[in-house]
Chain A
Amino acid sequence: MRGHRYLLNKIGWAFFTIVFVILLNFFLFRVLPGDPARAGLRDPRLTVEAIEAIRARFGLDKPVINCFETLNPLRLGSCRVNPLQTQFFIYVGNLLRGELGISYHTNRPVAHMLVERLWNTVLLVGAGQVLSIFIGITLGIIAAWKARTTIDYTALVGSLMAWSLPTFWLGIILLFIGSRQLGLPIAGKVTPGGNFANMWEEWLDIGRHLILPTLTFTIVFVGEYMLIMRSTVLDVLSEDYILTAKAKGLSTFQILKDHALRNSMLPMVTIIALNLGFTVAGAIQIETVFSWPGLGQSIFEAVGRRDYPMLQGAFLLIAVSVILANLIADLLYSYLDPRVRAS
């Protein structure tokens, strides 16, 4: 019963946060200057009718939420409009149908563009995160168990260096080494114009393209995970119940696996969830360096083109994924630590 209340409470808060983000996200892009029609104004060949047509196409001819002649909602002024015909409610209505508007740049639905890019990013980020979490946690546990030995210091210095490397710089260096020494592809997701006999070969080609960006991603994140895991495990190893476990005659491996790991995973879960949420946004730097057609790259391009609907959609996607990742972390937390369920 208590468990249910905890669950509902967390889900409720996630829902409210998403509603707030939708509001903020909508008005943020209405406050920013510029729209495609105004950009077109500089072109003398564009007729007034054409400009009006562009505005109508993107729904910019409608009032944002009302005419704002007065702030008193009871006296809406002369240009009273049907609230359902304002940009805000049209936006919310579209959102409920899963539509995120039309890109100023490509004239295609933003939702379609985001979904295409999302899978590429998930592929890259997923591979990188799984690798860096696995390696980082393993290294962290080993370093903590071998604290203040050569193994520990080597792992510590290595992780600090990896963590402090600028991502784009590391990407360029790996790109250079990987393409020259190992002959790996340097850009994109598949070889352009490639002709593949079967799906297996196509995936092999994608895999080869994935190696360098994934490696960059892993190196960037592994240091962070290792350092945090090391310090948490060190804390846990000084707890009394670890001494109890030793006194029980358990082996080093059993102590680490059954007593240290689960207790140390608590802070890790939070950090991993936060990172996962943010990296759905795409490792913008990595995708740009390696021309990986992911979300990050398209956000980077959309900023340059002032493609507001695209950015608005991407921001919403990022925010929702961060909120969901946090929700999952909260739920995992209550699974890992029975004390959370009780309070």
Chain B
Amino acid sequence: MPAAFADAPLLLDVRHLSVDYVSRGQPAAHAVDDVSFVLREGEILGLVGESGCGKTTLMLSLMRLLPSAGRIVAGRVDLLGRDLLSLSEKEIADVRWKEMAMIFQGAMNALNPVRTIGDQISEVIVRHNIAGNKAVLDGRISELLELVGIPANRKDQYPHQYSGGMRQRAMIAMALACAPLIVIADEPTTALDVMIQAQILELLLTLRQKLGLAVILVTHDLGVVAEICDSVLVMYGGVTAEYASVNTIYNNPQHPYTQQLLDAFPDLSNPSDRLTSIPGYPPRLDALPPGCRFAPRCSVAFERCHHEQPPLYQLSQFHLASCHRVESE
């Protein structure tokens, strides 16, 4: 735990969460396997990994929004001490957006094209009974839009009349509508150019300061992680590869996957370095290798890695890595 957050109140405590995708006549795909992490007030957690490593599945399962084939097979998700997985459908619906909101990737499709922005924001405020009357509601919508830098008079416009960056900011305004404790941002900047990307990240940081928001940022952009995150969870093939503070991840990565991921990222201080890539592909989740999931692509794998899955080793107070090499050191 980064020092600044060790004392902050614990919001979310995810323990040993496993999610399978089941379909008839096929082996279950283990999309998320035994993942644990915590989130404290005001903390920004980066969730990093290649496409298909289970990031989005993990986030959807926190709000119990998995598609019908998805099954949470083990684990707990405690939000302020309340186990979300044991709530009824109706109770979890009350939690959604009010306590945990989500910013989806690609706000073009995440907003309904035939309804105005203001209408879509007001809908969720009305759903959770935040505003008493029409005037308060209108005031709240204007306030939210201005908070993210959108003139309030554009609330009666439709998503297609907004630019890409504005849509994403409108999505953030909508996420903040019920003053949630946690915002899950699933690749919020993927489809945007770098200038807009910087604006959106700046906005998230400001909001964290103003509102004490905790954010889970799902991304595969390590630059973004270095810039704004406090702690980082690196996932590979559905399991935790490494979980530590952002400083530890960048300065003392222990898992070979983390190391190679960092090597694959351009380093501005050494522009002459050639970029390296990790050979091979991530494993298929319905046909996982018997040992360490990264072993087939790992340059330093040894015998044991290929038939024994490494547990998560605790390296220091807040540094976990799942690699056999860590143990031998």
Contacts and interface: CB of A to CB of B under 8 A. Distances in A.
Contacts of A239: 109
Contacts of A249: 93-98, 124, 127-128
A65 B110 CA distance: 61
B10 to A, nearest CB: 23
Interface size for chain A: under 10, 10 to 19, 20 to 34, or 35 or more residues? 20 to 34
A342 B127 contact: no
A246 B158 contact: no
From B65, B96, B110, residue with most partner A Cβ within 10 Å: B110
Given A240-B106, A249-B127, A339 B93 contact: no
A339 B95 contact: no
A244 interface: yes
Nearest to A335: B114
B124 A248 contact: yes
Contacts of B214: none
B158 A338 contact: yes
A336 B114 contact: yes
Contacts of A263: 112-114
Contact of A241 (B95, B111, B160, B161): B111
A337 B123 contact: no
A247 B111 contact: no
Interface string B85-99: 000000001111110
A250 B63 CA distance: 13
Contact of A250 (B98, B101, B123, B161): B123
B160 A339 contact: yes
Given A240-B109, A338-B158, A342-B161, A250 B127 contact: yes
Interface residues of B, number: 26
B160 A342 contact: yes
A246 B65 contact: yes
Nearest to B106: A240
Contact of B97 (A243, A248, A337): A248
A247 B101 contact: yes
B144 to A, nearest CB: 14
A150 interface: no
Given A247-B102, A339-B160, A342-B160, A241 B112 contact: yes
B167 to A, nearest CB: 12
Contacts, number: 70
Contacts of B101: 247
A195 interface: no
Interface in A247-281: 247-251, 254, 258-259, 262-263
A339 B63 contact: no
Interface in B105-158: 106, 109-115, 123-124, 127-128, 158
A193 B102 CA distance: 71
B104 interface: yes
Interface in A205-264: 239-241, 243-251, 254, 258-259, 262-263
A262 B116 CA distance: 13
Contacts of B113: 241, 263, 337-339
Interface in B26-66: 63, 65
Contacts of B160: 338-339, 342
A241 B127 contact: no
Contact of B114 (A247, A254, A337): A337
A21 B94 CA distance: 58
Contacts of B111: 241, 244
From A244, A254, A258, A342, residue with most partner B Cβ within 10 Å: A244
A334 to B, nearest CB: 11
A338 B65 contact: no
Contacts of A245: 112
Contacts of B112: 241, 244-245, 259, 263
A249 B126 CA distance: 11
B123 A248 contact: yes
A319 to B, nearest CB: 32
Contacts of B158: 338-339
B96 A248 contact: yes
A342 B63 CA distance: 36
A243 B110 contact: yes
Contacts of A246: 65, 96
26 contacts: A239-B109, A241-B109, A241-B111, A241-B113, A243-B104, A244-B110, A247-B97, A247-B101, A247-B104, A248-B97, A248-B123, A248-B124, A249-B96, A250-B93, A250-B123, A259-B112, A259-B115, A262-B114, A263-B112, A263-B113, A336-B114, A338-B113, A338-B114, A339-B114, A339-B158, A342-B161
Given A241-B111, A241-B113, A250-B124, 17 more contacts: A239-B109, A240-B106, A241-B109, A241-B112, A244-B102, A244-B110, A245-B112, A246-B65, A247-B63, A249-B128, A250-B123, A259-B115, A262-B114, A338-B114, A338-B160, A339-B114, A342-B161
Interface of A: 239-241, 243-251, 254, 258-259, 262-263, 336-339, 342
**Nearest 5 pairs of A and B residues by beta carbon:** A249-B96, A240-B109, A241-B112, A249-B93, A248-B124
